[in-house]
Amino acid sequence: MKASILNAYDKKECELEVKDIPNPEINSQEILVKIHTAGVNPLDNMIIRGEVKMIVPYKLPLVMGNEFVGVVEKAGAGVSRFAPGDRVYGRMPLSRIGAFAEYVAIDQGTVARVPEYLSDEELACLRGKQFVR
């Protein structure tokens, strides 16, 4: 799959490399989501500049991205809330970001079904965690 990768922190430039990486594997409580839209927010800029590395020491290279909207492709054996084809949105956990990719693996408890009256673009701009539960 293709993903946008941060290779080095930089306070002046924002340069991400698009490259092929393996699809994520899911565990029994996770879903594999095909990303349709991802939001860019100030946290992404802070991560790129290295401003959060004292709080969350990410290992580089790092797949960037926090908020996303997509469709469930696969569900783990213990997943009861979602099935393939469900349209979902959410925010990646701070410890494991990666929404600027074609797919993400994420715990079923951290995403929600998309309300039909909102577009992918509108939802990707929301802070997912505030609206999930």
pLDDT reported for residue 127 = 52
The CATH code that applies to domain 2-132 is: 3.90.180.10
pLDDT reported for residue 126 = 66
Domain boundaries, the chain: 2-132
Residue 88, SS3 per DSSP:
strand
Of 58, 45, 56, 41, nearest in space to 14 by CA: 45
pLDDT reported for residue 115 = 87
Question: Does the pTM exceed 0.75?
Answer: yes
Q: How far is CA 77 from the centre of its chain?
A: 21
Question: How many whole angstroms separate alpha carbon 99 and alpha carbon 40?
Answer: 10
Question: How many whole angstroms separate alpha carbon 70 and alpha carbon 86?
Answer: 8
Q: For residue 66, what are the CA distances in angstroms to 73, 76, 80, 83?
A: 19, 22, 24, 22
pLDDT reported for residue 132 = 40
pLDDT reported for residue 64 = 97
Q: Which parts of the chain register pLDDT below 50?
A: 128-133
pLDDT reported for residue 117 = 86
Question: How many whole angstroms separate alpha carbon 70 and alpha carbon 132?
Answer: 14
Contact between 68 and 104 under an 8 Å Cβ cutoff? The reply is yes
Residue 74 carries which side chain, given as an amino acid letter? Answer: K
